[in-house]
Amino acid sequence: MKFQYQLKKVSKNTKARLGQFEYRGKIYETPMFMPVGTQATVKTLSPEELKEMNSGIVLANTYHLWLRPGEDIVAAAGGLHQFMNYDGPILTDSGGYQVFSLAKNKKKDITEEGVVFKSHIDGKKLLLTPELSIQIQNKLGSDIAMSFDECPPAKADYSYLKASVERTLRWAKRGRDAHQNSEQMLFGIVQGGAHKDLREFSAKETVKLDFDGYSIGGVANDHESKEEMYAAIDYSIPFLPENKLRYLMGIGEPIDLIEGVIRGVDIFDCVSPTRLARHGHAFTKYGKINLKNASYKADFTPIDDFCDCYACKHYTKAYIRHLIVAEETFGARLLSIHNISFLIRLMEKLRSAISND
């Protein structure tokens, strides 16, 4: 059944929120970082390893699972939980971000009906609509489904963004009307770039549609500054209900998680922990490091002295650097374990900080 979010406390000094929800007899606390399992797997890691890190919600990608293996296969397996053997909560995105990046001619390929694009697998021409996105997510059986929204370019002009926000609202209503899974929560998405009036309008109108939770989209574009990202959050948060989850989409840098929590966000996701790991990068208390650097060749200390993850307890920077340079997948596994664990622990520390004001 749908889980119910409970707001437990708001920090006296910031807008940071401490909350929780119960799922299958277990209490999950927010703020929370959600590892990304794009193709029903968090790259290089097992569900058992995620649980050992005390993971909560895991995100899966609607677009990729639609193309391969197909939502009917996942449904036949009993849904995503059984298919990927993860008994914690699962969120599926709408596929919007992927199809908008694949749509070539924005004016021609993005219509009121949906988005036309070519599959990255075989080049086949496809159409994804708000209704189809929701129908796919219904079959995938995730606990949280996302509305299908337009993902405009970060530097789009005001008139384009205004039209985009209005289309996203129409699509949100169509998706809500198509939603048929009574055990699945459906979230609305607030857009509007870094424009205060558009963010306010988008938030207010999306809330009128009465979703189970709300997300702030359009903040993970490659060409958007941190100032614009934080402004978009500040312009959106005041108009979102206090008794429902708030989700900042696609954000995973430690400083951005902290800034998002301070502004009142509850859940976050990003592919960065595993993507960075595959390129030899690791989060540490003092910043991000690149283990490919020669300075770590004979460094026989853990990645981070303050971390108690499996990688830090058992292996040194020198060994992990050797694995990465030698292109051994165990190196990417160890750094993925560390990076995801680091962000989960960071959120635990933030929850403690909120509880103590």
Catalytic residue among 72, 93, 157, 234: 93
State how far the alpha carbon of 319 is from the alpha carbons of 274, 302, 309, 314, in Å: 18, 10, 16, 10
CB 235 within 8 A of CB 200: yes
Reply yes or no: is the peptide bond before residue 31 cis, omega within 30 of 0: yes
Contacts by 275-279, CB closer than 8 A, 24 or more apart: 276/335, 276/339, 277/44, 277/332, 277/333, 277/334, 277/335, 277/336, 277/338, 277/339, 278/43, 278/332, 278/335, 278/336
Determine the Cα–Cα distance for residues 357 and 345; give it in Å rounded to an integer. Answer: 18
User: Among the options 109, 212, 256, 269, which is catalytic?
Assistant: 269
Distances (CA, A) of 107 to 113, 249, 261, 264: 13, 25, 36, 35
CA distance linking residue 273 with residue 101, whole number of Å = 22
DSSP state of 110: B
Structure tokens at 160: 């384009």
For this structure, is 197 an active site residue? Answer: no
Partners of residue 144 on adjacent β-strands = 91, 185
> What is the DSSP code (8-state) at residue 79?
S
* Residues 278, 332 contacting (CB under 8 angstroms): yes
Distance from C-alpha of 201 to C-alpha of 265, rounded to nearest angstrom? 19
In three-state secondary structure terms, 36 is strand
Q: Reduced to 3 states, what is the DSSP secondary structure of residue 191?
A: coil
Whether residue 93 lies in the annotated active site: yes
Question: Using the 8-state DSSP alphabet, how is residue 28 labeled?
Answer: E
DSSP-derived 3-state class of residue 14: coil
Indicate which residues carry an active-site annotation.
93, 269
